[in-house]
Structure 1
């Protein structure tokens, strides 16, 4: 269930959001949500890399 989040951004960020949301034909809110979701996925991958490398080594796969 979506929740409302109010925040302030810089003029530069707002201008970028205006431009990109228009180009992508989505709202600024949707664009911010997509960006945050992607950031979450990226950080989860980065934090999971050491464990993945360890498991690969256990299987005899060296990178």
Structure 2
């Protein structure tokens, strides 16, 4: 994980199921990360995915406009 652009870290407190906690323990161990790093990575990945989904309709609209210009 690239930490060069991270602002100061903050602590959060969240409740998760025991099953999810067990999964986090296993996955963090497999990846050689702390659980905290894995949760941060998951949140960052989710954030990037949702931001892309948000801008896709606008990108598609602009692409259609450009295709119309080319077709004229």
TM-score range with shorter-chain normalisation? over 0.9
Gaps of 5+ in 2: 1-7
Secondary structure, counterpart of 2:33 in structure 1: coil
> C-alpha deviations, 1:16-61, integer Å up to 9, x for none?
1000000001000000000000000000011111000001001107
Q: Max radius of gyration: which structure?
A: 2
Q: Which runs of 4+ in 1 moved over 6 A?
A: none
Matches within 5 A, 1:1-63: 1-60=8-67
Gaps of 5+ in 1: none
Aligned residues: 61
